[in-house]
Amino acid sequence: MSAKEKNYWWETVTPPRPQSAMDLPESVEVAVVGGGFTGLSAARALAQRGVQVAVLEAETAGWGASSRNGGMVLTGLKLPVPTLIRRYGKQAVQRMYAVSLESIDCVEQIIREERIDCNFSRCGHLEVAVKQAHFDLYEKSATLIKREFNHELRIISKSELRQEIGTDIYHGGLVDEKSAGLHPARYVAGLAYAVQRAGAGLFEKTRVKSVEREANTGPRRFRVHTARGTLTAREVLLASGAYTTDATPALRRKVIPIGSYIIATEPLPEDLARELSPRNRMIYDSKHFLYYYRLTPDSRMLFGGRAAFFPANENTVRQSAEILRRGMIAVYPQLREAKVEYVWGGTLDFTFDVMPHAGKIEDLYFALGYAGHGVAAATWFGKKLAAILCGEPSDIPFDGIRFPNAPIGLRSGNTWALPLAGAYYKLLDWLT
């Protein structure tokens, strides 16, 4: 198989990316570390309130997970609702679930306000059951979510599934019409332009090397040392996600960087594309070691998954391409002859409890741990953290929940145990 080892999304972005600001300021009110969805959303909201902001990005805006994902704007959380209720209680989970719904509206509102051309569509998502036992849980889950969260999900029986997906390998499905899809690189580029229009500084190729609190008796300030110099800031927001480094070791100990990989076929004939996904849903399966897939705006099949747990590099991208192609053909035999034109990888920020977290750590604000729901969640968390930085009380239901450190073998910078984690989840899929 011969495919370009490039991110399809960035290959199809017009207009070009925004230009980075030139001169690093000596001081700002808020320094935002990371130029992805979280950081850009926060910077936009802060700048609109008149706050002086600098976004410090190690690569280019949206270079990381924000442009390497499937472009799925999903409701819900990674963990099942019964698990969440057992862990946090019904009232807390009601608020958490409400946030997952609000976050879709948040993305749509920003796209509308900033007139971002990113193929946003409320196409809904479809979860498909790889086992009958998984499908049997769908009705219970849908009933619980309707009763506790007043949110409607629709169960799709196996006999009806062909109306949603062009394969017979699954045992049924669950549809949420509120979810959406978009072109993530166009969206993150649009956010970057919006940040600059609002008056914030965007500084690319500005890797943060360390953050330290100034030793003085006056108002608290931080010194942020970067590859392009040093600046001071009244507050610092860490929005680096899976790419968190030892510049902020306390947060790095919390992060589990997980590799995720995607292939994209050549553009498909219109009748074939319609057969594969009649309603153009965002689709993912019910496994722990899951596949996720969708049609792109130009009718390619985009097919992704945890083909390798290691963060993306040249070797894991190439190995994953063939694994994903076999998976795609197992789902869609119709694509056996389709050419795979793109393959790329990225790194997601999991936490040990598989939950998003936000708040403060060592006096630094942060948000991360979106676990595959980052397009919507990161946008919402960034906007909410901006409000908190401006003095509003926190209404983030994930602020204050227990946030365990990742085991040494899984945390960022120490990933020798990731293959064991991958094997564990594969075993769970076989057992459950």
State the Cα–Cα distance between residues 9 and 184, nearest whole angstrom: 7
Which uninterrupted H or E stretch holds 264? Answer: strand 256-265
* pLDDT at residue 1 greater than cutoff 90: no
* pLDDT at residue 128 greater than cutoff 80: yes
pLDDT band at 419 (very low <50, low <70, confident <90, very high): low
Give tens-digit pLDDT for 46-88. Answer: 999 999 999 999 999 999 999 999 999 999 999 999 999 999 9
Is the separation of the CB atoms in 341 and 3 below 8 Å? Answer: yes
**Which pLDDT value is given to residue 208?**
97
**Which pLDDT value is given to residue 432?**
55
**Which pLDDT value is given to residue 15?**
64
**Which pLDDT value is given to residue 417?**
42
How many CA atoms lie within 13 Å of 53's alpha carbon, on the beta-carbon side?
31
Kindly state the average pLDDT of the residues 180-200: 97
Q: Which residues contact residue 390 at a Cβ distance below 8 angstroms, ignoring those fewer than 6 apart?
A: 46, 49, 51
Is the separation of the CB atoms in 203 and 24 below 8 Å? Answer: yes
How many CA atoms lie within 13 Å of 362's alpha carbon, on the beta-carbon side?
12
State the Cα–Cα distance between residues 281 and 164, nearest whole angstrom: 8
State the Cα–Cα distance between residues 342 and 318, nearest whole angstrom: 11
Which uninterrupted H or E stretch holds 271? Answer: helix 270-276
Going by DSSP bridges, is the β-strand pair 208-213/222-226 parallel, antiparallel, or unpaired? antiparallel
Q: Which residues contact residue 310 at a Cβ distance below 8 angstroms, ignoring those fewer than 6 apart?
A: 259, 316, 415, 418, 419
Q: Which of 60-64, 313-317, 327-331 has the lowest mean pLDDT?
A: 313-317
Write down how long the chain is. 432
Grouping H, G, I as helix, E, B as strand and the rest as coil, residue 265 is: strand
Kindly state the average pLDDT of the residues 285-304: 94
Grouping H, G, I as helix, E, B as strand and the rest as coil, residue 427 is: helix
State the Cα–Cα distance between residues 108 and 122, nearest whole angstrom: 9
Question: At residue 322, what is the residue type?
Answer: E
Work out the percent of the chain whose per-residue pLDDT is above 90.
Answer: 79
State the Cα–Cα distance between residues 123 and 185, nearest whole angstrom: 19
Residue 59's CB: how many other CB atoms inside 10 A? 13
**Which pLDDT value is given to residue 22?**
78
Kindly state the average pLDDT of the residues 182-197: 96
State the Cα–Cα distance between residues 96 and 355, nearest whole angstrom: 10
Q: Which residues contact residue 29 at a Cβ distance below 8 angstroms, ignoring those fewer than 6 apart?
A: 46, 51, 52, 53, 233, 234, 235
**Which pLDDT value is given to residue 16?**
66
pTM, two decimals, is: 0.93
State the Cα–Cα distance between residues 18 and 192, nearest whole angstrom: 7
Question: At residue 335, what is the residue type?
Answer: L
Kindly state the average pLDDT of the residues 201-226: 91
Q: Where are the alpha helices (DSSP H) in 78-167?
A: 81-88, 90-114, 132-149
Nearest C-alpha neighbor of 155 from the set 141, 169, 170: 141
State the Cα–Cα distance between residues 379 and 375, nearest whole angstrom: 7
Give tens-digit pLDDT for 335-346. Answer: 999 999 999 988
Give Cα 349 distance to the centre of its chain: 8
What is the average pLDDT value for the chain, to the nearest integer? 91
Strands (E), 117-187: 125-128, 154-157, 172-176, 180-181
* pLDDT at residue 216 greater than cutoff 80: no
Name the residue with higher pLDDT: 426 or 162. Answer: 162
Residue keyed to tokens 């990161």: 378
**Which pLDDT value is given to residue 96?**
97
As a whole number of Å, the end-to-end CA separation of the chain is 33
State the Cα–Cα distance between residues 312 and 341, nearest whole angstrom: 18
**Which pLDDT value is given to residue 411?**
64
Kindly state the average pLDDT of the residues 329-354: 93
Going by DSSP bridges, is the β-strand pair 301-305/364-368 parallel, antiparallel, or unpaired? unpaired
**Which pLDDT value is given to residue 215?**
80
Bond into 333 cis (ω within 30): no
Give tens-digit pLDDT for 6-46. Answer: 999 999 887 667 778 778 999 999 999 999 999 999 999 99
Give tens-digit pLDDT for 249-292. Answer: 999 999 888 888 999 999 999 999 999 999 999 999 998 778 99
Give tens-digit pLDDT for 384-408. Answer: 999 999 999 999 999 999 999 987 7
Is the separation of the CB atoms in 13 and 7 below 8 Å? Answer: no
Is the separation of the CB atoms in 76 and 373 below 8 Å? Answer: yes
**Which pLDDT value is given to residue 428?**
46
Work out the percent of the chain whose per-residue pLDDT is above 70.
Answer: 91
Is the separation of the CB atoms in 102 and 151 below 8 Å? Answer: no
Domains of the chain: 8-431 (3.50.50.60)
